[in-house]
Chain A
């Protein structure tokens, strides 16, 4: 469903991704590990279409479409979801209003009418419960003044509401305490399905202990230096990236 071929990406004139190729099949979970600055977040933002990340060459196909031709919003509507490492604050915009609007824009794409207020509240209550999100968080402004944990949970909540076919989690585990890591991982595990693929970007093994990957790739200097199964993650945890 996702095919990345010989991708070269630069950020602020700095060449970051170098001839990166990667295939993700339907329902697969791929973990990307690697030291700081190895290009892990770059691949996440490039896939989502962040205009600060410039594709110099290469191809990305997503559901047989040329992803590079699409705006970030069209990529989202096609099923791509990025859980941000640093979720952005939207002062003045209440979380509930925002969530409803993003749900409705996806419904519109599917030819559905906007969700009715009562139905949305019910949906929100049910999904929030799974993540231990208190309902009063939704009357606050999007991510504004949220704790690190609240922000990350709000990302997973959005993922759950939008039903994506490809989820990219950019260091979702950073800034989470053990309890939050556990409830967040459980929520993610419940979202696993044969139709949904994941790219999980992380520094550490601990998230992968909860969410078991099918493949592990090690990033170094903008390219994959090693790929393997989940045992690779444990080895790296013991030996480090240099080993």
Chain B
């Protein structure tokens, strides 16, 4: 503590920053109709899907990227991005892991997602997405047996067109906003999940997103449908190499919960955050929205956001079904020059709908961390209830935290409870804990983990411990 002063930054130990040396097959840079046709062709899509994409692209011509985010960055040149990259000679998805390029398997092993061992060890099925393609999905056969569909969305478009057609774009309309529309035009891979009526999915489903190719954007598209009375817990993880360029990740994630169904969606986002001077890192501009379509349905978002140069996302719930419930639990950590503008929207349409928002923002270094939320009660939403709690924790004196909670109340017998706090890790707290024998980082870890414990506990058990470690690693170098 005497040796190192506060606000003294050192390089984050981002252990996922390596590049896999694999030749990639890219569609030429730029955004135009030909590129979209090529993506669709690469994916061997039916005509209706191509038409859908082209409609989105046509719409995009009349749209502008939104500017209201609380983050500073230069305009993105959308013509200077590769919209599709896949490992070379990756025409057909390998049928078994034996056919997968060993370099790819090695990559996932280094990331802590051993696709082979995973099969034997954990009760977690994994879909591994590398740049624009899914390279492997584990446990597919076992899930097939109970009727659960878990596959890359490109495969679902070919094999389950009726389900995809029925739900794709129903939660996030093609015309929603610039990045969502862009995604609809150029999306590459992501996961598709369908849980049939009455089935409680017996294992965690998980997608691991990896950006590898340079100057390439990733446009993940994920769709999860939980049919009546079903349950699923899904988790996504993400990492990318360390580069001095900014790469765009613009995903659309749609969830649909029918009567009495429950979807628990967890994210551990650890995209490359840029270096200690704010150079490089991922722009994580993501649209995530869940529709509680049926009565008594429930959607719960849990996110641990530690990576990305800029995080801009609001996982939201549309509570249409009567008695439906939406939850949002978030830990967002920013260090160095990272910027996060994240939160949620809870749109109450049905009667007796409930929502709960717990947001924990932790800012260190020179970072900026904003909670932005909307709670809206429709006229029809009789007896709707919301509870919102937003806590901010500041580490050091050069970062900032902002809270922007909005409410729209069209219903007169509904209730909103809102609590917000801002606190600081003080020198006194660190000294106190260090006086009991913990070193500076352990002392800070104790205090920070205490601050966000309520949210970390919501993660599936298999990932909670990992997330706790990630929280500590993300703040390394922010105390002396």
Contacts and interface: CB of A to CB of B under 8 A. Distances in A.
A49 interface: yes
A105 B437 CA distance: 6
A201 to B, nearest CB: 15
A89 B437 CA distance: 17
A93 B450 contact: yes
A164 B451 CA distance: 29
Most buried by A among B3, B426, B428, B449: B428
Interface stretch (B43-51, B76-84, B438-446): B438-446
B442 A76 contact: no
Contacts of B431: 48-51, 72, 88
B333 to A, nearest CB: 15
Contacts of A77: 437
A237 to B, nearest CB: 31
Given A73-B438, A73-B439, A98-B446, A51 B433 contact: no
A67 to B, nearest CB: 12
Interface string B444-480: 0011011111000000000000000000000000000
A71 B450 contact: no
Most buried by B among A50, A89, A109: A50
A87 interface: yes
B433 A90 contact: yes
Interface in A89-128: 89-94, 97-98, 101-102, 105-106, 109
Interface string B390-427: 00000000000000000000000000000000010011
A73 B453 CA distance: 24
Contacts of B450: 90-94, 97, 141
Contacts of A234: none
Which secondary structure dominates where chain B touches chain A?
helix
Given A51-B1, A90-B450, A76 B436 contact: yes
Contacts of A73: 434-435, 437-440, 443
Contacts of A105: 436-438, 442
Interface residues of A, number: 32
A71 B431 CA distance: 10
A168 B446 CA distance: 24
Contacts of A97: 450
B96 interface: no
B11 interface: no
Given A71-B2, A72-B1, A87-B432, A109 B437 contact: yes
B438 A101 contact: yes
A219 to B, nearest CB: 22
Most buried by B among A90, A105, A109: A90
B429 interface: yes
Given A76-B434, A106-B437, A162-B436, A93 B427 contact: no
Nearest to A108: B437
B76 to A, nearest CB: 38
A51 B438 contact: no
Given A51-B1, A101-B446, A141-B450, A90 B437 contact: no
Interface string A133-177: 000000001000000000000000010001000000000000000
B1 A92 contact: no
Interface residues of B, number: 27
Interface string B63-85: 00000000000000000000000
A76 B427 contact: no
A88 B432 contact: yes
A52 interface: yes
A77 B453 CA distance: 27
B322 to A, nearest CB: 36
Interface string A39-51: 0000000001111
Interface in A208-226: none
Contacts of A92: 447, 450-453
A144 to B, nearest CB: 10
A16 interface: no
Interface string A49-62: 11110000000000
A91 B447 CA distance: 8
A37 to B, nearest CB: 20
A82 B432 CA distance: 9
Interface in B293-342: none
A84 interface: yes
Contacts of B446: 90, 93, 98, 101
A98 to B, nearest CB: 7
Nearest to A142: B450
Given A52-B427, A91-B423, A72 B434 contact: yes
Contact of B437 (A76, A87, A91, A94): A76
A211 B231 CA distance: 63
Given A91-B450, A92-B453, A93-B447, A102 B436 contact: yes
15 contacts: A48-B431, A49-B1, A52-B427, A71-B3, A73-B434, A73-B439, A84-B435, A88-B426, A90-B432, A90-B450, A92-B451, A93-B446, A93-B447, A97-B450, A105-B438
The 3 closest A-B pairs by CB, nearest first: A92-B450, A93-B450, A88-B432
Interface of B: 1-3, 423, 426-429, 431-440, 442-443, 446-447, 449-453
